[in-house]
């Protein structure tokens, strides 16, 4: 739909007023606004989209207050006060120990008065796991489209759904402006657990460290790898044993959840790649008699049904823990499965690269920045090579054994580890692998934790 001359003049005048109000912010913000304004001339849909983007970002920046002033304010709720103090602690750790570029980030607090700061729309064809992408100023292509309004996000998702796409709308608690602005702490994540709060800050600060334009999978997997490694180191620097146990248990649950999702993706990929017609009798999802089918739609839904069934079995193994119920509470489709792959599929490659650098984070960051300068095809070819190397490493023999009263342990050095297997746990840069009968896993972990923190760690482990 073409805009009339009057509409264009009216919009230009409105934007002039906005720009005048925003002069107190960084020049880069003005540049971004002007660039967004330029992009709106292509049609009404982009006009609405970039207008809501500008308004949403402005709301965050206009509502910022320094953390110091919020802490001094007698009206600040005590729980928010405590969390902001924790943010300062985590931020300092990120700068000193993880060497992340904190700059002026997370020194302010902004309340957007809603549960999520943005809602991302993801889409993929009905019979493909190739995500739909959109092109934006500054960041290039991205496999999601963000809205500061949930209604706007869902309206756009419905439009894509009518076009035949699988769609998913996900609320986002935090995002990085990759150095364009000083990102504030938001009310959307400030009340999370300390573990989740630290992981969020480490993840978003990692985006400030390295960013590959137009490569969502690379950027998010890198930030996830940094966040996981940072969180492990931060947890080991604390003396909160209960939080450490909670963290280790959460890692094991996440590992099994990811295995379920990635296994489902592999089944679907095989289905979508199969060009031969299927004439097979399969049991109906409702449990009735077998029904014939000749297209892929029913088999797709059957695979997703198997995922849900496997998750219910997994919950039983977890004693009913419902941590991932929210993920399964709504429709599962190609677009939703892709969101998991985006954040986790390439993480082992980054972990392997970090291990090659002996856990030296600054050296790791320098190498990542070099990789961002490669073309996307070259970058992903390198990541595939690293993924295979990591797989080979995990399958290599362990180099040190020791006996414990309650069972045998195999262990080896590893600054970073991708995913823990059922009989492994991560501790102080070491992966411990139990086999045989272990009577009291918690006691073993605490014993080994004491050994890791002792001055003579590296000597043969004593029997606990």
- Within 8 A by CB and 6+ apart from 375, the residues are none
Q: What is the pLDDT of residue 146?
A: 95
Question: Which letter does DSSP use for residue 276 in this model?
Answer: S
Does the structure show a pLDDT above 60 at 456? no
- Within 8 A by CB and 6+ apart from 149, the residues are 52, 56, 119
Confidence band (pLDDT; 50, 70, 90) for 48? Answer: confident
Q: Do residues 416 and 396 touch, judged by C-beta distance below 8 A?
A: no
- How many CB atoms are closer than 10 A to CB 187? 19
Distance of alpha carbon 155 from alpha carbon 178, whole angstroms: 28
Sheet holding 430-435, edge to edge: 400-404, 407-413, 430-435, 424-427
Reported as type and span, the H/E element at residue 411 is strand 407-413
Q: What is the pLDDT of residue 44?
A: 55
Does the structure show a pLDDT above 80 at 440? no
Reported as type and span, the H/E element at residue 369 is helix 361-372
Beta strands in 254-406 (DSSP E): 280-282, 291-293, 400-404
Q: What is the pLDDT of residue 107?
A: 96
Distance of alpha carbon 324 from alpha carbon 299, whole angstroms: 24
- Residue 46 half-sphere exposure toward CB, CA atoms < 13 A: 16
Q: Do residues 431 and 414 touch, judged by C-beta distance below 8 A?
A: yes
Joined together, the tokens standing for residue 399 give 């180099």
Distance of alpha carbon 283 from alpha carbon 294, whole angstroms: 14
Range in 78-82, 136-140, 405-409 the model is least confident about: 405-409
Q: What is the pLDDT of residue 251?
A: 84
User: What is the pTM assigned to this prediction?
Assistant: 0.75
- Within 8 A by CB and 6+ apart from 301, the residues are 285
Question: Which letter does DSSP use for residue 77 in this model?
Answer: -
Helix segments in 40-163, DSSP class H: 44-62, 67-72, 78-96, 150-162
The 3-state DSSP class for residue 60 equals helix
Axis crossing angle, helix 27-39 with helix 5-21, rounded to the nearest 10: 170
Q: What is the pLDDT of residue 446?
A: 54
């Amino acid at each position: 739909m073409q805009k009339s001359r009057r509409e264009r003049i009216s919009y230009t005048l409105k934007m002039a007023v906005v720009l005048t109000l925003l002069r107190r912010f960084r020049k880069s913000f003005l540049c971004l606004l002007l660039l967004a304004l330029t992009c709106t001339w292509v049609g009404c849909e982009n006009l609405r989209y970039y207008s809501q983007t500008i308004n949403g970002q402005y709301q965050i920046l206009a509502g910022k207050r320094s953390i110091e002033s919020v802490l001094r304010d007698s009206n600040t709720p005590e729980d928010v006060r405590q969390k902001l103090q924790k943010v300062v602690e985590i931020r300092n750790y990120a700068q000193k120990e993880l060497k992340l570029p904190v700059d002026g980030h997370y020194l302010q607090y902004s309340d957007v008065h809603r549960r999520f700061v943005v809602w991302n729309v993801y889409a993929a064809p009905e019979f493909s796991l190739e995500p739909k992408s959109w092109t934006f100023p500054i960041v290039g292509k991205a496999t999601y489209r963000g809205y500061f309004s949930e209604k706007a996000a869902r309206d756009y998702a419905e439009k894509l759904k009518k076009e035949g796409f699988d769609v998913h709308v996900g609320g986002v608690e935090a995002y990085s402006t990759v150095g364009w602005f000083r990102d504030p702490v938001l009310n959307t994540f400030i009340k999370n657990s300390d573990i989740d709060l630290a992981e969020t800050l480490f993840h978003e600060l990692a985006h400030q460290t390295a960013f590959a334009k137009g490569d969502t999978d690379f950027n998010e997997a890198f930030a996830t790898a940094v966040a996981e490694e940072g969180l492990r180191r931060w947890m080991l620097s604390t003396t909160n044993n209960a939080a450490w146990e909670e963290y280790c248990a959460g890692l094991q649950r996440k590992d099994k959840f990811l295995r379920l999702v990635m296994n489902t993706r592999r089944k679907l990929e095989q289905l979508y790649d199969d060009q031969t017609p299927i004439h097979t009798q399969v049991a109906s999802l409702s449990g009735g008699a077998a029904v014939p089918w000749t297209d892929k739609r029913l088999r797709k839904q059957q695979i997703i049904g198997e995922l849900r069934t496997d998750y219910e079995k997994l919950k039983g193994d977890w004693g009913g823990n419902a941590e991932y119920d929210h993920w399964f509470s709504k429709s599962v489709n190609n677009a939703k499965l892709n969101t998991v792959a985006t954040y986790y599929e390439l993480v082992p490659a980054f972990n392997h690269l970090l291990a090659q650098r002996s856990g030296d984070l600054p050296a790791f960051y320098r190498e990542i920045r070099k990789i961002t300068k490669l073309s996307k095809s070259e970058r992903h070819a390198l990541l595939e090579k690293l993924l295979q190397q990591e797989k080979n490493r995990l399958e290599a023999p362990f180099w040190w054994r020791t006996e414990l009263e309650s069972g045998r342990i195999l262990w080896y050095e590893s600054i970073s580890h991708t995913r823990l297997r059922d009989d492994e746990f991560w501790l102080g840069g070491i992966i411990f692998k139990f086999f045989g009968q272990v009577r009291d896993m918690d006691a073993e972990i605490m014993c080994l934790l004491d050994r890791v923190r002792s001055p003579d760690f590296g000597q043969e482990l004593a029997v606990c």
